[in-house]
């Protein structure tokens, strides 16, 4: 599946194989390493991220730009807003 839109990704993080709560904890650190307005691409295999990432984004004021499911992986595009 091709993403709906091409995103200019500032950084990519592969969280494949990590189980809850590690994907969200590591993503939190990765988001802090990019500039406000930039996009972090996260590849995850933990289905729990489908609930965790949107809740985290809402709580922290960041934006889930897109979620793409491909080859059993969840590919998240997260924009740092704060």
Where along the chain do its domains lie?
A: 9-79
55 close to 42: Cβ distance less than 8 angstroms: no
Residues 5, 41, 74: CA angle, nearest 5 degrees:
85
- Low-confidence spans in the chain with pLDDT less than 70: 1-5
pLDDT for the residue numbered 5: 59
pLDDT for the residue numbered 1: 42
pLDDT for the residue numbered 6: 75
pLDDT for the residue numbered 3: 47
pTM: 0.90
Q: Which residues are catalytic?
A: 20
Q: Each residue of 12-28: pLDDT tens digit?
A: 999 999 998 999 999 99
pLDDT for the residue numbered 4: 53
Sequence-separated (6 or more) residues with CB below 8 Å from residue 74: 43, 44, 45, 46, 47, 49, 50, 67, 68
CATH 3.30.110.40 is held by the domain 9-79: yes
């Amino acid at each position: 599946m091709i993403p709906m839109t091409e995103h200019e990704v500032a950084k990519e993080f592969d969280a494949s194989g990590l189980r809850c709560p590690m994907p969200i904890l590591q993503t939190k650190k990765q988001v802090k390493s990019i500039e406000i307005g930039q996009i972090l691409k996260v590849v995850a295999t933990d289905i729990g991220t489908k609930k965790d990432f949107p809740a985290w984004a809402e709580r922290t004021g960041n934006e889930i730009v897109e979620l793409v499911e491909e080859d059993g992986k969840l590919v998240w595009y997260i924009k740092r807003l704060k």
